[in-house]
Structure 1
Amino acid sequence: MDTRQQEPFVPPHPAPRTRPPTRLELIRTTMRNPIEIWGEPSYTKPHILVRFLGETILIANHPELIRHVLIDNAKNYRMATVRQLILRPILRDGLLTAEGDVWKRSRKAMAPVFTPRHIRGFAEMMKARVESFLDRFRESDGEVRDISHDMTELTFQVLSATLFSDDVAAEGSDFAEDVDRLLSTMGRVDPLDLVKAPGWLPRIRRMRGRRVLEKFRKVVRDTMAARRQKMKDDPDAVPEDFLRLLLEAEKPGGLTAAEVEDNLITFIGAGHETTARALGWTLYCLANAPRERALVEEEIAAVLAEGPPPVEWLERMPRTRAAFEEALRLYPPAPTINREAVEAETVTLGDGTAVEIEKGTTVLVMPWVLHRHRLYWEEPDAFRPSRFWPENRDRIDRFQYLPFGAGPRICIGATFALQEAVIALALILNEFRLEPTPDLDPWPVQKLTVQAQNGLPMRVEKRRARPG
């Protein structure tokens, strides 16, 4: 019997620190891999206050406190300075970094594409693109592939087809490698960020990423120019997609040309990245948990045998969805949510505890810590998809599980990502089985998203003939 079936699989993760780091250790760890910083109190207490480089930081784990900061009094909490110093050089006024009226205009412009009805309309296109992508798996039966690289390529192809009608001007480039290079350079914390040095001071760690960032921006500018020309030459032949919607929002009272470019950078450069990482971790966890994998495979086979359209798969494959959501819990692609208090306030929790928040306090809501917190999860480090089975979902508080954030700034593409993930997992796992290689021992590293250091090399083995 496979010994991996004896108990839940516990994938690799940093153990909580048992002593506070020195200031030098804190800086070095933050620069190398921020998720290795957190100590035992972060995983066991509902909230803690710490001081770092003269700054007050509140780590908020209590669901009531999180709700207050992200929803009930969200207007009192702006984007944290350090977060913006890291992200704005890449995304500028894209949806993830914009604030105030700029953010409101962008969100309003994009909302029509991400309605449930519109997203459901993408299902057939998602299925077709995944099936086409799997040709590379069919040609490499028995070979070892880096699944993290493959999932980045796959989710970019789905994004390009659904939101841009395959008009992204990125042909001939290795997109997955470009994304990794961008996040490994521009997306890392620099010492100057930690002391909140002005953005105009050059960050040495990011200088290597400027070339790939400019490459991304050129792709976006070329994409915009080509589509504008199509809209001028034959507007009736131009698809009603995300790209057209943004370009049509470029008008007085709408978006500026720079804001359109920034939002396209956000989606082309990062919009697919979180789903790619989560898919990779899901396949890795299932490869190491045969019992859980068998349940998912059985569900997929039963549903596909009935032949429903892919728009129904998300609802009809709850165990497949649960495996993805459990991987999102263990490896949340966006591991931190950073806010900064505009004014001081006192938050009183349901048990009577009063939490004092001073003006300027950085509030950290950290899915990485929250999703593994000892107060809120049983066996928090174990891969147990059954937590998310329909009969168990009510046990999970809305604010103890935040893979897509919460409140006004909740991820606009959450439903898109869930639908895409279930369709991709169903098609991959129905036809193929991914097995861990002897040297596969990934270590989670935060480079904006949580990715596997050195990738996810796994053996791809064909299970059955291609359906249909």
Structure 2
Amino acid sequence: MDTQPAPFVPPAPKPRTSPPSTLEMIRIVYRNPLELWGEQTYNEPWISANGAGGPLVIANDPGLIRHVLVDNARNYKMATVRQKILRPILRDGLLTAEGEVWKRSRKAMAPVFTPRHIFGFAQPMLKRTREFATRYEAGGTSDIAHDMTMLTYDILAETLFSGEIAGEQGSFANEIDRLFETMGRVDPLDLLRAPDWLPRLTRIRGRKTMAYFRKIVTDTVNMREEKVRRDPDAVPQDFLTLLLKAEGPEGLTRAEVEDNIITFIGAGHETTARALGWTLYCLAESPWERNRVEQEIDHVLAREADPTKWLDAMPLTRAAFEEALRLYPPAPSINREPIVPEMWKDLYIPKHAAVLVMPWVVHRHRKLWDRPDAFLPERFHPGNREKIDRFQYLPFGAGPRVCIGASFAMQEAIIALAILLSRFRFDVTAETKPWPVQKLTTQPQGGLPMQVTPR
């Protein structure tokens, strides 16, 4: 009888066995925060300590996570360090806005992400993926991490902006990498909670790139407004139009409109791109899993032309994607700060503590998962998926600030995987040696060079 090979264990930092010094910690946090965490972090329900920047609570227990993100979410604001990193990029976009600004933005965007609208995006997603896939017809080696950034940008531009984003696609992909390389990292001065008037070298390096993105946004808005003036009836009722309609005394300011556009152009496609790249990589290293996924995709595509049905019709494909999201969560850290101190069970959470809910750690926690470091899509197969606690699996966050685009991303991912894997086989090469690095997302350092062969 055939036996299935041992599951693939993809690359990840080994938990530390001793705590770093303050200087070493600052160096690690700047270079790659994923390398900071020790064995205790992956085994305890929570950790309470004093860090370089003050009190620190690491929340791993699903009950504690639910308390922070849902049950008592009103007592938890966005963490100061996180805001110092993201606000220079996104300003009052949905990811960084708080209070009334966040409420207005969320309300303005909600109509775009209803199930009816999500299903309406399926055909444009399918069209763009098919067009993109033609680049692989001759075979050869390609950096799949970069390619998936290009693909998800194409899809985002087509669905949310009706193809009307200013700027060149190729330059955009290069600049987004540069933006996250410079401004998407923790600055050591932020970690130490130094005064804002001290200049952050990371931000200075990223100013040119940031100016590039702001120009894209301004040009995109101007293009759409010109179209409204020229022919109002021809204007698509997409994300961009809805945002502009929400502009006004009771709605969004022009600055908030632009901030939300840059949030979705930048962060909205980057997360899905990284997850797709990691999925193709893990399947390439697990050919027995890839075979099952390819067979499922071939079976469904031969019988079901409607891409809105694929997410439910492809449970094995979805499971592979969800397992890649577990191992390499696009947003590896959710940071909160209590407004007033409180107790949860016997844990005291002081005011201004940095409360870290880290999907990277929670998804690999020894007490929550069997063989947590292995790529095992069967965890998410029907019958198993339902046994996973809602608050031990957090690829899209949870609570009031759960990712508004989660359904969009899941549909996009399954359509992309279905088209790509039905036509091509992706294999690792001798140069495929990715290392997960936390910037704004969990990125493969060195890219994902892979051999692509028509099936």
Do they superpose with TM above 0.5? Answer: yes
Measured against aligned partners, the alpha-carbon deviations of 1:44-92 in whole angstroms (never above 9, x if no partner) come to: 0000112112511000000000000000000000000000000000000
Distance 1:201 1:95 in 2: 27
Structure 1 counterpart of 2:131, which letter? S
- Give matches, 1:68-107, under 5 Å: 68-107=67-106
Superposition deviation, residue 191 in structure 1: 1.2
- Give matches, 1:214-363, under 5 Å: 214-348=211-345, 354-363=346-355
- Give matches, 1:25-424, under 5 Å: 25-53=24-52, 55-139=54-138, 141=139, 143-171=140-168, 173-348=170-345, 354-424=346-416
Q: Aligned to 1:441, which of 433, 436, 441?
A: 433
Query: Quick one: structure 1 residues 298 and 230, their matched pair in 2 at CA, closer, same or farther if it must change by over 3 Å?
Result: same
Q: Is the 8 A contact 2:150 2:169 kept in 1?
A: no
Superposition deviation, residue 202 in structure 1: 2.0
Measured against aligned partners, the alpha-carbon deviations of 1:190-216 in whole angstroms (never above 9, x if no partner) come to: 111112234443211232211111001
In percent, how many aligned pairs have the same letter? 64
SS at match of 2:123: helix
* Stretch deviating more after TM superposition (266-275 or 49-58): 49-58
Superposition deviation, residue 229 in structure 1: 1.1
Give aligned pairs, total.
Answer: 454
1:22 matched to which residue of 2? 21
Distance 1:189 1:444 in 2: 16
List, as ranges, runs of 4+ consecutive aligned residues in structure 1 with deviation greater than 6 Å: none
Distance 1:161 1:247 in 2: 18
Distance 2:198 2:218 in 1: 26
Distance 1:80 1:124 in 2: 39
Uncovered stretches (5+) of structure 2, i.e. residues with no partner: none
Superposition deviation, residue 173 in structure 1: 4.2
Tell me how large the CA RMSD over aligned residues is: 1.2
Query: Quick one: structure 1 residues 194 and 54, their matched pair in 2 at CA, closer, same or farther if it must change by over 3 Å?
Result: closer
TM-score by length of 1: 0.95
Distance 2:126 2:172 in 1: 21
Measured against aligned partners, the alpha-carbon deviations of 1:305-336 in whole angstroms (never above 9, x if no partner) come to: 11330010001001101100000000001000
Distance 2:313 2:53 in 1: 52
Distance 1:9 1:74 in 2: 37
Distance 1:146 1:174 in 2: 16
Structure 1 counterpart of 2:278, which letter? W
Distance 2:17 2:178 in 1: 33
Distance 1:193 1:54 in 2: 8
Superposition deviation, residue 441 in structure 1: 1.2
Distance 1:200 1:170 in 2: 33
Distance 2:389 2:128 in 1: 35
SS at match of 1:429: helix
Distance 1:305 1:168 in 2: 34
1:351 matched to which residue of 2? none
Uncovered stretches (5+) of structure 1, i.e. residues with no partner: 349-353, 464-468
Measured against aligned partners, the alpha-carbon deviations of 1:6-55 in whole angstroms (never above 9, x if no partner) come to: 21000000000011111111111001000100000110000011211251
Superposition deviation, residue 183 in structure 1: 0.1
Measured against aligned partners, the alpha-carbon deviations of 1:160-209 in whole angstroms (never above 9, x if no partner) come to: 00000000002264222111100000111111111223444321123221
2:451 matched to which residue of 1? 459
* Stretch deviating more after TM superposition (17-26 or 148-157): 17-26
SS at match of 1:272: helix
TM-score by length of 2: 0.98
